[in-house]
Amino acid sequence: MIGRLRGTLIEKQPPELLIEVGGIGYEVQMPMSCFYELPEIGQEAIIYTHFVVREDAQLLYGFNSVNERALFREVIKANGVGPKLGLGILSGMTAGQFVSCVENEDISTLVKLPGVGKKTAERLVVEMKDRLKGWGAGDLFTPATDAAPMDKGLSSDESAIDEAVSALLALGYKPQLASKAISQIAKPDMTSESLIKEALRAMV
């Protein structure tokens, strides 16, 4: 099992990144709440990973801290929640915010996440509330920042918008909702990561 990667960040295509370790490039899916904290392309990154093996694919999911990965593993233990939905859940809000929603039984906020209906939200609260006791919503997780890292690989507003829409689709949002969310908040010179962050914030 691959549990940790330390290497050079080669590509950032939200919600996926490519990190080179010992001459090998690893594709890693990462929740947007963690993606915002990545260093610039070309810099060293340390990523804690969860390895998933399916019949048709082998996938790596990445996180900035051991605790964020641990929370992801707890989320996908819930009935009916797989890695893709877990990725969407922790992209729509930070790990700390999710813990708070579960502790406070905040169903109305959870249902705004991609792929999470009322039944799934209720199931998350029922199944996870006891398991998350003592986790707290603050010190265990990487703090969210208002400033998203600049993505220097994008050369135009149009490419940033296209990339942002594609990222929302990968997270489970429907095409019409993804396009509408991005168009409503798009401003000149915004990076794809800034667009994604603002769109997710607006939808939740």
The model's pLDDT over 92-136, given as tens digits with 9 standing for 90+, comes to: 888 888 999 999 999 999 999 988 999 999 999 999 998 888 776
Check whether residue 112 and residue 72 sit in a common domain.
yes
The model's pLDDT over 51-101, given as tens digits with 9 standing for 90+, comes to: 999 889 899 999 999 989 999 999 999 998 999 999 999 998 888 889 999
- Report if residue 196 sits inside a domain: yes
- Reduced to 3 states (helix: H, G, I; strand: E, B; else coil), residue 170 is helix
**Residues listed for the chain:** 204
Residue where one domain finishes, among candidates 63, 79, 105:
63
Q: How far apart are CA 27 and CA 58, in angstroms?
A: 10
Quick one: residue 189, left, alpha or beta (phi over 0 = left, psi -120 to 50 = alpha)?
Answer: left
Q: What was the pLDDT predicted at 148?
A: 37
Residue where one domain finishes, among candidates 63, 79, 114:
63
- Name the residue with higher pLDDT: 97 or 19: 19
- Report if residue 140 sits inside a domain: no
Q: Counting beta carbons within 10 angstroms of the beta carbon of residue 174, is it exposed (0 to 12), middle (13 to 18) or buried (19 or more)?
A: exposed
CATH number assigned to the domain comprising residue 13: 2.40.50.140
Range of the domain at 180: 157-203
- Report if residue 40 sits inside a domain: yes
- Report if residue 22 sits inside a domain: yes
Check whether residue 44 and residue 75 sit in a common domain.
no
Check whether residue 56 and residue 110 sit in a common domain.
no
- Report if residue 135 sits inside a domain: no
Check whether residue 83 and residue 50 sit in a common domain.
no
User: Based on the structure, what is the number of domains in the chain?
Assistant: 3
Could you tell me what percent of the chain has a pLDDT over 90? 50
- Report if residue 152 sits inside a domain: no
CATH number assigned to the domain comprising residue 187: 1.10.8.10
The Cα-based distances of 143 to 8, 41, 54, 134, 152 in angstroms read: 23, 21, 32, 18, 23
Check whether residue 120 and residue 71 sit in a common domain.
yes
Q: How far apart are CA 1 and CA 194, in angstroms?
A: 33
- Report if residue 183 sits inside a domain: yes
Check whether residue 73 and residue 54 sit in a common domain.
no
Check whether residue 70 and residue 121 sit in a common domain.
yes
CATH number assigned to the domain comprising residue 94: 1.10.150.20
Quote the tokens at residue 186. 């798009």
Check whether residue 37 and residue 71 sit in a common domain.
no
